[in-house]
Chain A
Amino acid sequence: MSTLVNPSRIDATPGNPVEPFLRSDRMPHIWCPGCGIGTTVNCFAEALIESKIDLKSLALVSGIGCTGRVAGYVKLDSFHTTHGRAIPFATGLKLANPHLNVVVYSGDGDLSAIGGNHLIHAARRNIDLKVICVNNLIYAMTGGQTAPTTPGHATTSTSPYGTFEPAFNLPHLVEASGAVYVARWTTFHVKQLARSITEAFKKKGFSFIEVISPCPTLYQRRNKLGDGLDAMKYYKEKSKTKHGCPTSEVGLTLTGEIIVGKFVDRDRPDYASLLKAQMHEALGNKYVDYDEEQGYGCSADGGCEEESCH
């Protein structure tokens, strides 16, 4: 494998402003024609440009699934973890290095089914994570099975006669669990989505942005909803922007209205602030806070005397 080129040596092709944020040596990506995940990545990159965030401090964590592959395409410290566990991994990353800006980028099945417990607990703790949940209403990577987000009566490979389980209303779930910022857009709303991501970077605490995104291959086709373009038309015609809308009213249906907008924007102390306050109160000057020089334990920029550790 000596022919492998170190990714940092590959120059971004000039022209497309988002290319510096992508691992161009990994293109083409695996996503299907008409899939919305690439659009969300584009919006994410726009938000990085807009927010002028220090890319060195930015880490992106994904779980498993189509959206889980985002971690492999962004030129950042990027972690492709296990199914459902992006949030607890990101929690450890953030606690061990509080200077990191940690983004969790994953799908609806990964975050709300197998990872549902972590989603609500991270929101409860108000861990300072930015969660981008691409909701294509289905398990796409594995071939189009029912997800907890699949709206009623949709046909899937595991619900061949139509789904009948009630679906999760994700904004409602995370608001009730304690998220400080909750928004929803579709992949039609590229400007609004980029703006929401930029806003989330300014928030301290658990932020959750749901992006309704088409899966033409497995969801649209099986439900006779057309292709990716038809999905865009649907999103354009049936989306209604309602900032501040009570999240209890934003549940999704198969072909009905999609309420989009910023639903929640509030402030409460994040986990790290609460932790420090509690320790200072309980331990006084015995509390040893996160060391700016040494970090926790053996970080690269200190903590060890040995040359081999630097």
Chain B
Amino acid sequence: MKADPRGVLTGTHFMDGDHACCEGALAAGARFASGYPITPSTEVVERFAQRVPTVGGCFIQMEDELAASITLQGGVWGGAKAFTVTSGPGFSLMMEHIGYAVMTETPCVFVDVQRGGPSTGLPTLPSQGDMMQARWGSHGDYEIIALCPNSPQECFDLTIKAFNFAEEFRIPVMFMMDECVGHMTEKVVIPPADEIEVVPRKHTHKSIEDYLPYGTNGDMVPEMAHAGEGYKFHMTGLTHDERGYPNMTPPMQKKLVTRLQKKILSNVERITMFEEDSTENADVIVVSYGITSRVAQRAIDMARAKGLKVGKLRLITAWPFPDFKIRELAARTKAFVVPELNLGQMAREVQRAAEGKAKTILVPHAGGSVHNPEDILAAIQEAVR
């Protein structure tokens, strides 16, 4: 379906990534958000608090992130599309409820504008240190989707994508911004509402008599009902059967957790988005994401000016990780250079997926600023030597 025009601020704007993310959420149909203030993410909900009463929805500032991360899920079961926004320390507090959204198959979006950590770390400065936490932060086995924008325009475009994935697969989607992308102001083009594809809630067509809340068909994604519609369904974070009733047995655990994984893993090629450039005859391929991809572009340009054959792979989807793409590229390149604003997180994934067929060279950065392009260039030169 197309976006509801009430939420779409069609036009050409000069806005920062945080605000663009908010506009993306509104365009995607989000009409409910719960949040707790934390730098450098707060501008997203500040704008939402200002805008949403004029499009038919509400924002509530909760008492902490523990509350914010489940209030939005109550909103979803009440019928709204909903999200929350945070940064490192708050993201840590939200982990239990990311697992709850996975287990109860609550479609929602968690925006994390990453800052330097651990702990309070660097509240106003960038990092990409939450990439593994986004994937593994909650307990148990599960799959989520995580997207990494590298510009305010992508903060708009990919936020819509994040909501669409959340609805399609009934999972929490992690929207992994960083302080630079969040606070960077650039041109953002918001198209007319009838050019924006929005995935509606997968609401059940079944009668009350025929509806099983966690019964699935071929696509492994159950149909949803909302509170107040007469279905009188039960929902729990306990291991449950198709009725939603607790069933804490090893066979049920295996069946449920396997399905929750498979509904994502069987769609990896469709979910994973990336930008690929000149990888065909590349001696070295720079793999990057988020703000670091823009610094990496400068380093790639410098290397090419020196006559080096350098390819580029920019991860737009970080999770699920595009193993298949890395495997394919590893067969025809010598090395991957992976700059990231942490001491080595996604680089491990590149190394794992490359299976030793090409070497992986990490260009670490502890956070607080972006890389110096010369450091990435040096790694490229080292790789081709």
Show the binding face of A for B, using Cβ within 8 Å.
Answer: 1, 4, 6-9, 23, 25-26, 55-57, 59, 61, 71-72, 75-82, 84-85, 88-97, 99-100, 117-118, 121, 275, 279, 283, 286-291, 294-301, 303-306, 308-310
B338 at the A/B interface (Cβ < 8 Å)? no
17 contacts between A and B (CB under 8 A): A4-B212, A23-B234, A88-B70, A93-B227, A94-B74, A96-B74, A97-B78, A275-B58, A283-B53, A288-B55, A290-B56, A295-B79, A297-B30, A297-B79, A297-B80, A298-B79, A299-B226
Contact call A77/B231, Cβ cutoff below 8 A: yes
Select which of A4, A55, A80, A295 is within 8 A of B237 by beta carbon. A80
Q: Report chain A residues within 8 Å CB of B29.
A: 297-298
Contact call B210/A6, Cβ cutoff below 8 A: yes
Q: Report chain A residues within 8 Å CB of B229.
A: 56, 300-301
Compute how far the CA of A25 lies from the CA of B247 in the bound complex, rounded to whole angstroms. Answer: 13
Q: Report chain B residues within 8 Å CB of A303.
A: 4
When A288-B54, A308-B200 are in contact, do A85 and B67 touch as well, CB less than 8 Å? Answer: yes
Q: Report chain A residues within 8 Å CB of B228.
A: 56-57, 59, 77, 97, 99-100
Select which of A93, A304, A305 is within 8 A of B77 by beta carbon. A93
Select which of B55, B70, B202, B246 is within 8 A of A92 by beta carbon. B70
Minimum Cβ distance to chain B for residue A114 (Å): 9
Minimum Cβ distance to chain B for residue A104 (Å): 11
Contact call B232/A4, Cβ cutoff below 8 A: no
Chain A CB count within 10 A is highest, among B64, B226, B228, B234, for B228
Compute how far the CA of A88 lies from the CA of B255 in the bound complex, rounded to whole angstroms. Answer: 30
Compute how far the CA of A35 lies from the CA of B153 in the bound complex, rounded to whole angstroms. Answer: 58
Minimum Cβ distance to chain B for residue A274 (Å): 12
Q: Give chain B interface residues in 61-83, CB to chain A under 8 Å.
A: 62-64, 66-68, 70-82
B235 at the A/B interface (Cβ < 8 Å)? yes
Contact call A297/B72, Cβ cutoff below 8 A: no
When A117-B63, A118-B63, A310-B205 are in contact, do A297 and B32 touch as well, CB less than 8 Å? Answer: yes
Chain A CB count within 10 A is highest, among B56, B68, B212, for B56
Minimum Cβ distance to chain A for residue B316 (Å): 25
Chain B residue, CB-CB nearest to A297: B31
Contact call B74/A309, Cβ cutoff below 8 A: no
Q: Report chain A residues within 8 Å CB of B242.
A: 1, 4
Contact call B56/A89, Cβ cutoff below 8 A: no
Contact call B237/A8, Cβ cutoff below 8 A: no
B142 at the A/B interface (Cβ < 8 Å)? no
Compute how far the CA of A66 lies from the CA of B209 in the bound complex, rounded to whole angstroms. Answer: 30
Minimum Cβ distance to chain B for residue A300 (Å): 5
Chain B CB count within 10 A is highest, among A61, A89, A275, A305, for A89
When A288-B53, A296-B79, A304-B1 are in contact, do A92 and B236 touch as well, CB less than 8 Å? Answer: no
Minimum Cβ distance to chain B for residue A19 (Å): 14
Contact call B237/A81, Cβ cutoff below 8 A: yes
Contact call A96/B78, Cβ cutoff below 8 A: yes
When A82-B100, A298-B201 are in contact, do A77 and B232 touch as well, CB less than 8 Å? Answer: yes
Q: Report chain A residues within 8 Å CB of B161.
A: none
**Which 10 pairs between the two chains have the least Cβ-Cβ distance?**
A92-B74, A96-B78, A299-B79, A80-B236, A88-B67, A309-B200, A297-B31, A288-B56, A97-B78, A296-B31
Contact call A100/B227, Cβ cutoff below 8 A: yes
Chain B CB count within 10 A is highest, among A92, A95, A305, for A92
Select which of A75, A82, A89, A97 is within 8 A of B226 by beta carbon. A97
Select which of A95, A118, A309 is within 8 A of B78 by beta carbon. A95
Contact call A72/B70, Cβ cutoff below 8 A: no
B238 at the A/B interface (Cβ < 8 Å)? yes
Contact call B80/A9, Cβ cutoff below 8 A: no
Minimum Cβ distance to chain A for residue B198 (Å): 9
Compute how far the CA of A94 lies from the CA of B34 in the bound complex, rounded to whole angstroms. Answer: 13
B225 at the A/B interface (Cβ < 8 Å)? yes
Contact call A26/B227, Cβ cutoff below 8 A: no
Query: Per-position contact with A for B227-266: 1 when CB-CB < 8 Å, else 0?
Result: 1111111111110011101100000000100000000000
Q: Report chain A residues within 8 Å CB of B74.
A: 61, 79, 88-96
Compute how far the CA of A298 lies from the CA of B198 in the bound complex, rounded to whole angstroms. Answer: 11
When A81-B70, A96-B32 are in contact, do A279 and B232 touch as well, CB less than 8 Å? Answer: no
B208 at the A/B interface (Cβ < 8 Å)? yes
Minimum Cβ distance to chain B for residue A73 (Å): 9
Contact call A8/B79, Cβ cutoff below 8 A: no
When A1-B242, A85-B67, A304-B200 are in contact, do A96 and B79 touch as well, CB less than 8 Å? Answer: yes
Q: Report chain A residues within 8 Å CB of B241.
A: 1, 4
Minimum Cβ distance to chain B for residue A281 (Å): 11
Contact call B232/A295, Cβ cutoff below 8 A: no
Chain A CB count within 10 A is highest, among B66, B78, B96, for B78
Compute how far the CA of A100 lies from the CA of B58 in the bound complex, rounded to whole angstroms. Answer: 16
B57 at the A/B interface (Cβ < 8 Å)? yes
Q: Report chain B residues within 8 Å CB of A100.
A: 78, 227-228
Q: Report chain B residues within 8 Å CB of A275.
A: 58
Compute how far the CA of A309 lies from the CA of B201 in the bound complex, rounded to whole angstroms. Answer: 6
Contact call A95/B233, Cβ cutoff below 8 A: no
Query: Per-position contact with A for B112-139: 1 when CB-CB < 8 Å, else 0?
Result: 0000000000000000000000000000
